[in-house]
């Protein structure tokens, strides 16, 4: 399975069903009361985070996802069926941006986190809803409200408790294989791991936690050398970083240099990442030269206040105390919040209900959510619906405002692509 961590999709909610105009027919009653049912509401579009996915790959075959449309109302007060909601599952850790503005909208940061993205259109009301003491036989019904759509950029930043870092060949994947259910590829050539891989550790007597393995880092990674920084973001949100450092080297100073190289790359990529709790797994302790190198390495690392565990990922030796320590960290530490998307209070500014602006070609463009919806929901083939449309515009104060603009009687007024002549409104 391919690993994909960025994707553009379009989410579309369902259209509301149209309301119906009909009258009861009964024996001996020439014309009964209004009985047109309302249309069903259109389906909503949701995103839902799940731990069952670890890549956006499954979503990459389709660009547009649609919720179902509501069906039209029927005679005999039959309400139309609701459109089916669409729930698109994404991996936990998916960040949701408005693709047009690049604004971060949501951080789907836990399993089961379900977020409404676009609401379905409301069903239009049937003529039965319009009857009143003054209007006993209304011939008017609303059309269904159209659905809405938004283009989203999804960005996955995996959420793991512990992130692995180290040079290529240090033994990160061997470690992940040894201690988790994951089976990443292991080989004695650099850059064996090409994509982030998650594994879950289930230590005895401690809650399970999750480890992310990423491709090895080399000097210059932050400038794109090797596999670069493409995958560093996947350990950006972890609680702690486990440095895997090979102790096997002819040069006894090499392990510390290697550790420093990787630390520097983390720091250059993100200062926050370098500030995270760091633990060291001094690996390949089963090899003869490792013992000696380890003593010098440990001394220097401990001087710097770092916790070091000697292990052999190949034989499993020493991994139990390390896992216990990591389990503790995972339980104690919190994820460093990536963003304030879900918490930040959004400030709402006052938006006037509509705007009337003169265009270069002389037409007058009217914009505004309510007035646009009113146009969409009006059936202009029905004279009664048009009367209702006009009285609604009056209620909104729109007619009064329209009287104030300096327009000629035959000027074009464009509301949601419906073109009117100025004089039609008076
Ligand atoms: N003797 C010994 N060999 C090990 C140990 N851990 C890993 N190796 C070997 O080191 C080589 C590299 O191991 P990997 O686990 O693929 O290394 P990696 O850090 O994931 O490498 P990249 O994916 O390239 O970043 C393989 O040949 C492993 O068998 C160990 O504890 N002892
Ligand atoms: Mg690897």
Most confident of 48-52, 82-86, 417-421: 82-86
**Does residue 370 sit in the same domain as residue 275?**
no
Would you call 419 exposed, middle or buried from its count of C-beta atoms within 10 A (0-12, 13-18, 19+)?
Answer: exposed
Ligand nearest to the CA of 175: 1
The residue out of 137, 157, 177 marking a domain boundary is 157
**Does residue 326 sit in the same domain as residue 177?**
yes
Examine residue 407 and state whether it is found in any structural domain, yes or no: yes
* CATH code for position 274: 3.40.50.300
Q: Which long-range contacts (CB under 8 A, 24 or more apart) does 299-306 make?
A: 300/256, 301/256, 301/259, 306/278, 306/279, 306/280
Would you call 320 exposed, middle or buried from its count of C-beta atoms within 10 A (0-12, 13-18, 19+)?
Answer: middle
| 301 compared with 182, residue with greater pLDDT | 301
The residue out of 135, 157, 179 marking a domain boundary is 157
Tell me, what's the pLDDT at 348?
Answer: 43
* Average pLDDT of span 81-92: 96
**Does residue 270 sit in the same domain as residue 295?**
yes
* CATH code for position 405: 3.30.300.350
Ligand 1 centroid–CA 64 distance in Å is 42
| 422 compared with 229, residue with greater pLDDT | 422
Ligand 1 centroid–CA 317 distance in Å is 15
**Does residue 127 sit in the same domain as residue 202?**
no
Ligand nearest to the CA of 313: 1
Tell me: the pLDDT tens digits for 17-68? 999 988 887 766 666 788 999 999 999 999 999 988 888 988 988 999 999 9
Ligand 2 centroid–CA 243 distance in Å is 13
Ligand 1 pocket mutation, candidates 166, 170, 171, 218, criterion most atoms within 8 A of CB: 171
194 lines ligand 1 (CB under 6 A): no
pLDDT at residue 205 is higher than 50: yes
55 lines ligand 1 (CB under 6 A): no
Examine residue 309 and state whether it is found in any structural domain, yes or no: yes
165 lines ligand 1 (CB under 6 A): no
Residue whose entry in the numeric block shows the structure tokens 């399993």: 111
**Does residue 147 sit in the same domain as residue 1?**
yes
Determine which residue's CA is closest to atom 8 belonging to ligand 1: 171
Ligand 1 atom nearest to CA at 174: 15
**Does residue 316 sit in the same domain as residue 180?**
yes
The residue out of 157, 179, 212 marking a domain boundary is 157
Rounded CA gap, 323 and 94, in Å? 27
| 167: helix, strand or coil | coil
Q: State the chain's mean pLDDT as an integer.
A: 87
**Does residue 26 sit in the same domain as residue 129?**
yes
**Does residue 10 sit in the same domain as residue 124?**
yes
Tell me, what's the pLDDT at 108?
Answer: 92
Ligand 2 centroid–CA 171 distance in Å is 7
Examine residue 134 and state whether it is found in any structural domain, yes or no: yes
Examine residue 337 and state whether it is found in any structural domain, yes or no: no
pLDDT at residue 344 is higher than 70: no
Counting the structural domains of the chain, the total is 3
Ligand 1 atom nearest to CA at 167: 25
Tokens for 18? 């149209």
190 lines ligand 1 (CB under 6 A): yes
Examine residue 346 and state whether it is found in any structural domain, yes or no: no
pLDDT at residue 297 is higher than 50: yes
pLDDT at residue 220 is higher than 90: no
**Does residue 69 sit in the same domain as residue 102?**
yes
Reported pTM = 0.70
**Does residue 301 sit in the same domain as residue 389?**
no
Ligand 1 atom nearest to CA at 194: 23
For residue 146, the enclosing domain spans: 1-157
281 lines ligand 1 (CB under 6 A): no
CA distances from 149 to 65, 66, 328, 354 (A): 10, 9, 44, 20
Ligand 1 atom nearest to CA at 191: 24
188 lines ligand 1 (CB under 6 A): yes
Examine residue 78 and state whether it is found in any structural domain, yes or no: yes
Tell me: the pLDDT tens digits for 102-111? 889 999 988 9
Determine which residue's CA is closest to atom 21 belonging to ligand 1: 169
Ligand 1 centroid–CA 388 distance in Å is 75
**Does residue 211 sit in the same domain as residue 187?**
yes
Examine residue 348 and state whether it is found in any structural domain, yes or no: no
**Does residue 190 sit in the same domain as residue 313?**
yes
């Amino acid at each position: 399975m391919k690993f994909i961590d960025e994707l553009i999709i379009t989410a579309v909610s369902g259209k509301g069903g149209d309301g119906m105009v009909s009258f009861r027919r009964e024996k001996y009653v020439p014309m009964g009361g209004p009985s047109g049912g309302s249309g069903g509401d259109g389906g909503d579009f949701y995103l839902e985070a799940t731990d069952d996915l670890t890549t956006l790959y499954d979503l990459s075959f389709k660009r547009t996802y649609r919720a179902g449309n509501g069906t039209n109302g029927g005679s005999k007060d039959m309400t139309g069926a609701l459109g089916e909601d669409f729930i698109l599952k994404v991996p936990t850790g998916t960040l949701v941006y408005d693709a047009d503005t690049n604004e971060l909208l949501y951080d789907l940061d836990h399993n089961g986190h379900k977020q409404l993205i676009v609401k379905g259109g409301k069903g239009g009301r049937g003529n039965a809803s319009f009857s009143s003491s003054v209007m006993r036989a209304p011939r008017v019904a609303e059309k269904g409200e159209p659905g809405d759509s938004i283009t989203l950029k999804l960005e996955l930043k995996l959420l793991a408790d512990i992130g692995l870092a180290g040079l290529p060949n240090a033994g990160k994947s061997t470690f992940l294989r040894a201690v988790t259910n994951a089976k990443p590829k292991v080989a004695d050539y650099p850059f064996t791991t090409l994509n982030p891989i998650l594994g879950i550790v289930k230590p005895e007597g401690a809650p399970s936690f999750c480890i992310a393995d990423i491709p090895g880092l080399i000097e210059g990674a932050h400038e794109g050398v090797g596999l670069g920084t493409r995958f560093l973001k996947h350990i950006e949100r972890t609680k702690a970083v486990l440095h895997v450092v090979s102790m096997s080297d002819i040069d006894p100073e090499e392990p510390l240099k290697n550790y420093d190289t990787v630390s520097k790359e983390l720091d250059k990529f993100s200062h926050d990442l370098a500030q995270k709790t760091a633990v060291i797994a001094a690996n390949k302790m089963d090899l003869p030269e490792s013992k000696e190198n380890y003593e010098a390495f440990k001394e220097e690392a401990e001087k710097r206040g770092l916790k070091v565990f000697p292990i052999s990922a190949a034989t499993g030796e020493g991994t139990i105390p390390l896992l216990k320590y990591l389990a503790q960290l995972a339980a104690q530490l919190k994820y460093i919040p990536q963003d304030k998307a879900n918490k930040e209070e959004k400030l709402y500014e006052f938006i006037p209900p509509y705007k009337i602006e003169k265009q270069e070609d002389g037409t007058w463009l009217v914009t505004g959510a309510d007035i646009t919806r009113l146009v969409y929901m009006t059936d202009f083939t029905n004279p009664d619906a048009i009367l209702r449309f006009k009285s609604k515009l009056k209620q909104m104060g729109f007619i009064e405002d329209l009287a104030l603009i300096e327009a000629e009687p035959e000027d074009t007024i464009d509301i949601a692509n419906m073109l009117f002549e100025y004089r039609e409104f008076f």
